[in-house]
Chain A
Amino acid sequence: MTTAFESSELVLNMGPQHPSTHGVLRVILKLDGERVTGTECVIGYLHRGVEKIAENRTYAMFAPYVDRMDYVSAVSNGLGYCLAVEALLGVTAPERAQVARVILTELNRIASHLLWLGTHALDIGAITPLFYTMREREEILKIFENYCGARLTTHAFRIGGLQYQLYAGFEEEIRAFCAMFPPKIDEYDRLLTGNRIWRDRLEGIGLLTVEECKQLGVTGPMLRASGLAWDVRRAMPYSGYQNYEFEIPTGTRGDTLDRYLVRIEEMRQSVRIIEQAVARIPEGPIVARGMKVIKPPVGEAYVPIEAPKGELGYFIVSDGTINPYRVRVRPPSFLNLQALDQMARGALVADVVAIIGSIDCVMGEVDR
């Protein structure tokens, strides 16, 4: 094939050990000089067969495995799975458990966005923000460790509610975090948003319209950056999200800079939700009745939640035994990664790094 420069097309292999492909993503780039004419993702390097494992485990046993899919937002994964099994069983978690779930999930959203911000800035060439975001993320991980005894793969929720009572000093720690964190967001904002190198690298890169997002199944901050205010927390509320006031930030252009701005604003909104939730932690039980043996009736359930990366859904088919018949995960990263080819066409090689970073994909979730 000849190209505009009368030269042959160059095929370049990027990954799976490339530092900026965030794990083990391999992208085959077709290049015309510096311009990308096509990309092809090769995935599956981190495949562990999580969906198959579910078929050989009981419902309660499978809960720790979902933490290992999107390992930077394990709490959200656990919430989605627990909600799906609860929908099968027809139970709802008690009020106290729901509020605690909202607090921990929103903290996890901040932790996930902080890790994204640090690594994305690192890809672009700004090394400093990584250290600042990791420092703030540490505070969240300490809260997780105090609450459930693990920092990353938390296994914080159980089907029907929670396993652990909120510890003494939980509310004070959350309040202290909510007071400490918003000035830090302003600091990242001042450090990056106005910076000319940051703007030059991100503005107008990786454009995606709302129509293209809908066709490709792109959700989460990427869809909102394109201009559609779609948030599962607002559209199909779960865990009592209808009781909280928050705004859905949207972008206008749908480029990489908009995705950055949307995620920054989402962190501010998450702090707002946590502040409202911590003011209304009710007393009462933390787990629903009859959760000793989990044996759902024959049927199926699909429950979507708004994970930090987009719509995370669990589709569970039950055949009436203690093991699920089939568990299908709708991972946000996997579907968002589909948009890479659309965004990278016509971009430069260096922009591909910025675009992959703006997708915020976690390969553990893509390959499962």
Chain B
Amino acid sequence: MKTVIEFLKKALLLDLLEGLWITFRHQHPKNIYTEQYPITRPAVAERYRGAPRLNIHPVTNETLCIACDLCKIACPENLIVVGFVRDEKKRKQLTTFTYDLSRCMFCGLCEDACPVDALELTQDFELASYTRGGQIWDRQMLEEGPRPTEYRQ
């Protein structure tokens, strides 16, 4: 009897029909998961590690960075260069800040190391540029965000 049932199951293609039934049910519109990327922006997580930003004070517009060099020391790829001068009180003043995004692996060790929350990895994830030089972000770019590309005819 068992062999007869087995034979009938095979002859009636029940195993294949079951698979077809599962795939058939999945064509319902609520099962569509395609993201229409440039039209609808994906919502990235709050903790997303994307483009770096050098925070400035919201009122005084002065940089929060104290040029302590801790992010440079923490970086595994050694891609941060902090430039500073000493003012008359022998305090460090930030002059330049270079961040080489082409070598960055977004591990987040620099933002963990920052004692004043000046350096931060933001939710911005569109980092493409036409040149290699465009991947090296200077202080102005880090503070204001990437400048939009200007197109000429």
Contact = CB atoms under 8 A, between A and B. Distances in A.
Contacts of B47: 145-149, 164, 167
Interface of B: 10, 15-16, 18-19, 22-23, 26, 33, 44-49, 74-76, 105-109, 112, 121
B105 A64 contact: yes
10 contacts: A61-B75, A63-B107, A128-B19, A145-B45, A147-B47, A148-B108, A155-B107, A191-B18, A195-B15, A196-B15
B16 A196 contact: yes
A138 interface: yes
Contacts of A191: 18-19, 22-23
Interface in A190-222: 190-192, 194-196
Interface centre among B33, B76, B109 (most CB of A within 10 A): B76
A288 interface: no
B122 to A, nearest CB: 10
Given A63-B107, A194-B15, A194-B18, 16 more contacts: A61-B75, A64-B107, A64-B109, A138-B33, A142-B45, A149-B121, A150-B49, A150-B106, A153-B105, A163-B108, A163-B112, A190-B22, A191-B18, A191-B23, A196-B10, A196-B16
Given A147-B47, A167-B47, A128 B108 contact: no
Interface residues of A, number: 31
Contacts of B26: 132
B71 to A, nearest CB: 12
A195 B13 CA distance: 9
Interface string A175-203: 00000000000010011101110000000
A155 B108 contact: yes
Pick the 3 closest A-B CB pairs, nearest first: A64-B107, A149-B47, A61-B76
A-side interface mostly = helix
Contacts of A68: 105
A103 B116 CA distance: 32
B22 A187 contact: yes
Interface in A47-90: 57, 60-65, 68
Given A64-B107, A128-B23, A196-B10, A149 B18 contact: no
A194 B109 CA distance: 48
Contacts of A146: 45-47
A187 B24 CA distance: 13
B33 A60 contact: no
B109 A61 contact: yes
Nearest to A187: B22
A190 B19 contact: yes
B55 to A, nearest CB: 17
Contacts of B106: 150
Interface centre among A57, A142, A150, A194 (most CB of B within 10 A): A150
A103 to B, nearest CB: 17
Contacts of A18: none
Given A132-B26, A138-B33, A195-B19, A149 B49 contact: yes
Contacts of A289: none
Nearest to B14: A194
B76 A62 contact: yes
A135 interface: yes
A149 B45 contact: yes
Nearest to B21: A190
A64 B79 CA distance: 15
Contacts of B19: 128, 190-192, 195
Nearest to A146: B45
Nearest to B121: A149
B74 A61 contact: yes
A130 to B, nearest CB: 12
B21 to A, nearest CB: 9
Contact of B16 (A57, A138, A195): A195
A150 B75 CA distance: 17
Nearest to B10: A196
Contacts of A187: 22
A85 B49 CA distance: 25
Contacts of B48: 145, 149-150
